[in-house]
């Protein structure tokens, strides 16, 4: 068979053509094994973690990434770091989408030099405490979920090897947070943060305890993004990965806050059929949904889409027909994970789709309303969700600044005081979300509206809600708890807090004891 290539008009336009076909050049023999045999001998399927690490080409000083969909039940990070330490790796940059209490063994890898520095959304427990007290030479970089997506997309955070735990995966790398092929008692629902890493990391290793037949559809991570698949006996503790159904709060303060928050939404000018919302997982946020539900039914209003970290409370509304669609970057409980598996209008999305500022149509920009929590809010409406009132790191940025910036009405809910700790203060310890993106602060003792939103203030006053100034809230809090002594710090920077555009919005210093 011989083709006259020169007869193709404008041949110079087709520079990528491979010339004439010939059987001789197609040296790949036809694979005549069964699908079952092919799966068993998939080249991506490696024997163990050692082999996957060696094949990935990981070297000292490189950047490795992890996701936090397993929350407090995660075994992956500690397992992989112990292996990397055993194999003698040094100076690694650990870029996790977030870290929790269960990751305290990282302290040893920091001390021994296996980990040079850390990037994360948050830190908790012993590790957070040690880092706040100067454990690391190089400060931790804190990023929001949207900010991390942007840093990955812009190349500021270049991931060499991603180690991604998955509750199900086939031999060719189609991975997900659940499986229709039967699960092993572990499911995490959405793999939104892992999707991002899988797409951009140079090498991607899926670590699973549940190797299922090809194709593991629907998948969160497609095989085209995956280089190696490792099967291990255990990837996490189901009890820590997923809480059961979240119980409805009985705390009267939270109920009062929730009732106010629901009324704020209803009177915000953004309560219409098809409106969009995101709710946090705190007691007051969950209760807000309940109060809102009654008025949605009364006024025949449905939510167009609900976004974010998804809880069972939002899923209930979907199943009732009060929410049309759910966009899910992270499933907070089993109810949410099961809904993602079973309901086709419950869609899994990546961190970038959720919140990246480099994506103008990003879902957070389509939000009418978001309800957010806070450890502290100051009189400039700046919010801290990262450091405790004692200056020690104890939280995570999450999607706080992303949703606050994107939503038309961003509402922060918080009790005026927690025990003796005031929530409304003169200056927050750490600015995570700038005040210009916060519209309303709802407390049990009153509601403050950002002076930049006189439209909202007028609406809430007309609705006879207890509107006051943020300064009145601050002085009310101080009257109850007294004047707090300032926290003392050394001049050593232990944390760099970035805003979603990768700029630096605040610094965290070592706490002085």
Partner 1 sequence: MPLDSLIILQEGTRLKIEKTAVAGTMESSDIMVTLSPGSVGGIEIELESSVEKQFGNAIRSTIQDVLTELDVKNAHVKALDKGALDCTVRARVKTAAYRACNCDSYQFGGQN
DSSP structural state of residue 73 = G
Q: Is 430 in the site for partner 1 (CB under 8 A)?
A: no
Rounded CA gap, 414 and 253, in Å?
A: 9
Stretch that binds partner 1, among 264-272, 331-339, 366-374, 478-486 (CB under 8 A): 478-486
373-376 contacts: CB < 8 A, separation 24 or more?
Answer: 373/280, 373/282, 373/284, 373/285, 373/412, 373/413, 373/414, 374/412, 374/413, 374/414, 374/423, 374/441, 375/414, 375/423, 376/422, 376/423, 376/424, 376/425, 376/428, 376/429
Among 389, 423, 430, 433, binds partner 1 (CB under 8 A): 389
In a 3-state reduction of DSSP, which class is residue 412?
Answer: strand
Contacts of 494 (CB under 8 A, 6+ apart): 131, 132, 134, 135, 136, 139, 140, 393, 508, 509, 510
Q: Is 107 in the site for partner 1 (CB under 8 A)?
A: no
> CB of 512: closest distance to partner 1 in angstroms?
9
Among 391, 406, 415, 495, binds partner 1 (CB under 8 A): 391
Q: Is 507 in the site for partner 1 (CB under 8 A)?
A: no
Rounded CA gap, 428 and 422, in Å?
A: 11
Query: Which tokens in the block code for residue 93?
Result: 């940059």
Q: Is 9 in the site for partner 1 (CB under 8 A)?
A: no
Rounded CA gap, 123 and 100, in Å?
A: 6
Q: Is 427 in the site for partner 1 (CB under 8 A)?
A: no
Among 9, 419, 464, 503, binds partner 1 (CB under 8 A): 419
Among 55, 256, 452, 484, binds partner 1 (CB under 8 A): 484
Q: Is 489 in the site for partner 1 (CB under 8 A)?
A: no
Among 61, 451, 466, 482, binds partner 1 (CB under 8 A): 482
Stretch that binds partner 1, among 61-69, 177-185, 197-205, 414-422 (CB under 8 A): 414-422
Sign of CA dihedral 140, 142, 148, 153: negative
Number of residues engaging partner 1 in binding (CB under 8 A): 15
> CB of 227: closest distance to partner 1 in angstroms?
48
Question: Nearer Cβ to partner 1, position 203 or 253?
Answer: 253
Q: Is 483 in the site for partner 1 (CB under 8 A)?
A: yes
Q: Is 487 in the site for partner 1 (CB under 8 A)?
A: yes
> CB of 152: closest distance to partner 1 in angstroms?
37
Rounded CA gap, 61 and 125, in Å?
A: 26
> CB of 488: closest distance to partner 1 in angstroms?
8
DSSP structural state of residue 80 = H
Q: Is 311 in the site for partner 1 (CB under 8 A)?
A: no
Sign of CA dihedral 501, 402, 429, 240: negative
> CB of 423: closest distance to partner 1 in angstroms?
13
Rounded CA gap, 387 and 123, in Å?
A: 9
Q: Is 480 in the site for partner 1 (CB under 8 A)?
A: yes
> CB of 379: closest distance to partner 1 in angstroms?
18
Number of neighbours of residue 468 by Cβ within 10 angstroms: 14
Among 87, 217, 488, 504, binds partner 1 (CB under 8 A): 488
The binding site for partner 1 (CB under 8 A) comprises: 389-391, 418-421, 480-485, 487-488
């Amino acid at each position: 068979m011989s083709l006259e290539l020169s007869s193709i008009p404008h041949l110079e336009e087709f520079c990528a053509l491979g010339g004439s076909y010939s059987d001789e050049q197609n040296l790949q023999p036809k694979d005549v094994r069964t699908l079952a045999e092919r799966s068993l001998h998939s080249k991506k399927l490696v024997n163990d973690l050692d082999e996957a690490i060696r094949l990935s080409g990981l070297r000292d000083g490189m950047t490795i990434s992890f996701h936090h969909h397993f929350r407090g039940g995660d075994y992956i990070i500690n397992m992989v770091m112990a292996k990397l330490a055993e194999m003698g790796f040094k100076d690694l940059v650990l870029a996790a989408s977030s870290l929790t209490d269960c990751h305290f063994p990282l302290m040893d890898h920091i001390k021994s030099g296996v980990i040079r520095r850390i990037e994360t959304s948050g830190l908790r427990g012993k590790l957070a405490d040690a880092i706040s007290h100067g454990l690391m030479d190089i400060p931790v970089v804190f990023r929001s979920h949207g900010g991390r997506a942007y840093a990955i997309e812009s190349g500021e955070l270049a991931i060499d090897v991603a180690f991604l735990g998955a509750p199900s995966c086939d031999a060719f790398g189609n991975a997900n947070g659940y499986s229709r092929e039967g699960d092993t008692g572990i499911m995490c629902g959405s793999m939104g943060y892992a999707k991002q890493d899988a797409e951009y990391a140079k090498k991607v290793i899926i670590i699973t305890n549940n190797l299922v037949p090809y194709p593991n559809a629907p998948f969160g991570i497609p095989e085209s993004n995956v280089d190696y698949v490792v099967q291990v006996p255990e990837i996490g503790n189901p009890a820590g990965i997923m809480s059961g159904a979240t119980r409805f709060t009985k705390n009267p303060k939270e109920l009062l806050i929730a009732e106010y928050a629901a009324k704020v939404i209803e009177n915000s000018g953004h309560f219409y059929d098809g409106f969009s919302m995101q709710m946090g997982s705190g007691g007051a946020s969950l209760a807000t949904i309940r109060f809102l539900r009654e008025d949605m039914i009364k006024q025949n209003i449905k939510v167009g889409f609900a976004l974010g970290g998804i809880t069972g409370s939002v899923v209930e509304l979907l199943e009732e027909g009060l929410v049309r669609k759910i966009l899910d970057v992270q499933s907070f409980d089993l109810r949410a994970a099961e809904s993602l598996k079973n309901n086709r209008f419950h869609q899994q999305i990546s961190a970038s789709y959720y919140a990246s500022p480099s994506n103008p149509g990003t879902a957070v920009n389509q939000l009418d309303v978001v309800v957010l929590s806070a450890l502290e809010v100051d009189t400039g409406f700046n919010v801290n969700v990262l450091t405790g009132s004692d200056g020690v790191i104890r939280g995570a940025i999450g999607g706080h600044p992303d949703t606050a910036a994107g939503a038309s009405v961003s509402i922060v809910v918080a009790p005026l005081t927690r025990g003796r700790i005031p929530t409304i203060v003169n200056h927050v310890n750490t600015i995570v979300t700038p005040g210009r993106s916060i519209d309303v602060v709802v407390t049990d003792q009153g509601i403050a509206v950002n002076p930049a939103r006189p439209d909202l203030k007028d609406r809430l006053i007309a609705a006879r809600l207890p509107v006051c100034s943020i300064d009145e809230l601050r002085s009310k809090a101080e009257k109850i708890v007294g004047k707090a002594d300032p926290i003392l710090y050394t001049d050593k920077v232990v944390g760099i807090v970035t805003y979603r555009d990768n700029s630096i919005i605040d610094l965290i210093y070592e706490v002085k004891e």
